[in-house]
Structure 1
Amino acid sequence: MKEKTIVPKDYQSSLSVYDTQKAIGLTKHWFEEALTGSLKLKRVSAPLFVDASSGLNDNLNGVERPVQFDVPALATPAEVVHSLAKWKRTALKQYDFHIGNGIYTDMNAIRRDEELDNLHSIYVDQWDWERVISREQRNLDYLKQTVQQIVNAIIETSSRLHTKYPSLSIELDSNVSFITTQELENLYPDFNDKEREQAYVKEHPTTFIMQIGDKLLSGKPHDGRSPDYDDWQLNGDLLFWHEPLQTAVEISSMGIRVDETSLKEQLEKANATDRLKYPYHQQILANELPLTIGGGIGQSRLCMLLLEKVHIGEVQVSLWDEETLDACRGKINLL
């Protein structure tokens, strides 16, 4: 049985616990500056929970259970968000944003069914962002351009951290390798999705894997993706090779959002046309919401990558099972 928590032999953090805390703050501050400047984003407040009947919560792969609780003053239960993928698009309309401008926010979530390992926690913190685009910008070239802007912001942040903390040795590749999930399957037909990612990202340390959600020629999707926010032909995941762990680390999931045509097609493929009853989906069908591009960028994941940590618990406070605690005891300082 494979161990879920790995501590590399002779691992020693490049930064003390004290310096790590300071570096986390600098990482977040500098990255926000770089990201918002390049993508023209304005900071907004975001919900921690949404109305369970609104259809706004992200259902992820369709099996994860949101944390739900009753509110005596309301007639419907509330759900802690999984992500803000749908909420942001409605907010852009409500806040009267126009083409070329967008929003970003701190998203904090609970994913109760997440498996715990070096990269996963039940607590999720990310920068959720969304930008209004034109119909002409709904294409792969625009998606790739935006991905490169995000990578540039990460590289800039890493450079500033190097100057502040010379003990950090990480060097990220600014050249993004773009590849579709079908191309990955063609390259590694005998591998599963994670094995394909590992093999490819090891050779291409900055990779954007495109077109996630639809079935491949093998009859299976590369990975699950909700059918009602990303256009499966215009989305992807940004991964970096993480040398201390010898693994690919997903930093961002993003994409150009569904329009009225792709929404109907994807809901039919996912056998989820019942979602068309929700106000959010009806607004898309009626062209009442702006066309957008957006995504989430993991805050703890980015800190883990740039600060050369091997466990996400070194950069965020969460709950860990006994197996994780035993594996880390005396080797890793979990917060």
Structure 2
Amino acid sequence: MSKQEILQTEEAIALVKKTFSQNLCNALNLYPISSPMIVNEGTGINDDLNGIERPVSFPVKFLNNNHGVVVHSLAKWKRIRLKELELEVHEGILTDMRALRPDEDSSPIHSIYVDQWDWELKIDKVDRSLSYLKKIVRLIYQSLLNTEEEVHLQYGYERVLPKKLSFIHSEQLLQLYPTLTPKDREHAIAKEYGAVFIIGVGYKLSNGESHDSRSSDYDDWSTISEDKYHGLNGDLLVWDEELSRSLELSSMGVRVDKDALEHQLALTGSQDKSKLYYHNLLLTDQLPLSIGGGLGQSRICMFLLKKKHIGEVQASIWPDQVREDAIKQGINLL
């Protein structure tokens, strides 16, 4: 790849990030804010993700031998920040999150370095519903459509996103493809619709397994919603023609309230978390109700710019074999 092509890619990455973040702030009434890369260990503030990933941890001298941990995401920190900023209902925050996930696989769509837009919106009790979740997801999707249009106008990349986003519950998806694995079900439904939001990720389905695991203490995946299925959360997927597979761009949801947290801690056998700083705030009604999530910056860039590897749009570290294979395929990893 020539120097000119590399610099044009960098320019296009900057356009995508600027355009999408501005659209998202306008759509959801979000204020851009700063955020930490490190939080105190043992407070419950760091995101547990699927509950098994190890955070990067290191001793901090002035914390009296306590450790700092590099964030996985800011799902819980954002809710505390909403409280501190005393925002009004239907006002929220957007931050440019940087994280390290050392247990992440190395693949065309995975990197140990994570860059995403983390957003959180203060809501009212009446908003804790499936209809409100869908409303917010549609606004996010429109921001993606607007960004795709701008990339098309500036660089001529083909528009591939459907104008209408589809929704399906993970239980309905299981019934539709009962013989497929959860990941293959995602590929099948994303290929059929082009873009789809899978509702209800975390609660056990009729086959005794959840579509995917979720931590017990940020998204509400156990509440029964209007369609009689569990879950006020989900994942936004698109069909990536370059990779011939589905690509998850966002994980998000209505956040747990006191009752949902107690229920999910019990379901996962993690009641001991209730003693942690963050969980105590929530269990004593000291945090605002909210909806929020993360949107992968590099994944959105690679999708809109038709890239075959996430390393084409972000600088990270890769196994030697991955770099060698990329060179053979004419792929330039940053």
TM-score range, shorter chain: over 0.9
Give the stretch that moved more between structures: 170-179 or 71-80.
Answer: 170-179
Q: Does 1:326 align with 2:318?
A: no
Aligned partner of 1:208 in structure 2 is 197
Aligned partner of 1:179 in structure 2 is 168
Distance in 2 separating the partners of 1:160 and 1:326: 34
Task: Please tell me the root mean square deviation across aligned C-alpha atoms, in Å.
Answer: 1.2
Aligned partner of 1:30 in structure 2 is 19
Q: Does 1:261 align with 2:259?
A: yes
Distance in 2 separating the partners of 1:170 and 1:226: 35
Deviation at 1:169, TM superposition (A): 1.5
Deviation at 1:98, TM superposition (A): 1.6
In structure 2, runs of 5+ residues without a counterpart are: 222-230
Distance in 1 separating the partners of 2:27 and 2:169: 25
* Kept in 2: contact 1:111–1:122 (CA 8 A): yes
Aligned partner of 2:93 in structure 1 is 103
How does 1:48-59 map onto structure 2 within 5 Å?
48-59=37-48
**Identical aligned pairs, as a percentage?**
47
Distance in 2 separating the partners of 1:231 and 1:175: 25
Match of 2:75 among 85, 89, 92: 85
Q: TM-score, normalised by structure 2?
A: 0.95
Distance in 2 separating the partners of 1:334 and 1:126: 19
Distance in 1 separating the partners of 2:19 and 2:320: 35
Q: TM-score, normalised by structure 1?
A: 0.94
Distance in 2 separating the partners of 1:301 and 1:237: 14
Match of 1:72 among 58, 61, 64: 61
Aligned partner of 1:6 in structure 2 is none
Aligned partner of 1:146 in structure 2 is 136
How does 1:1-335 map onto structure 2 within 5 Å?
16-75=5-64, 76-166=66-156, 168-232=157-221, 233-330=231-328, 331-335=330-334
* Kept in 1: contact 2:149–2:159 (CA 8 A): no
* Kept in 1: contact 2:45–2:77 (CA 8 A): yes
Distance in 2 separating the partners of 1:165 and 1:122: 29
Q: Report SS of the residue matched to 1:16.
A: helix
Deviation at 1:62, TM superposition (A): 1.3
Q: Report how many aligned residue pairs link the two structures.
A: 322
Return the letter of the residue paired with 2:21: E
Q: Report SS of the residue matched to 1:231.
A: coil
Deviation at 1:200, TM superposition (A): 0.8
* Kept in 2: contact 1:99–1:133 (CA 8 A): yes
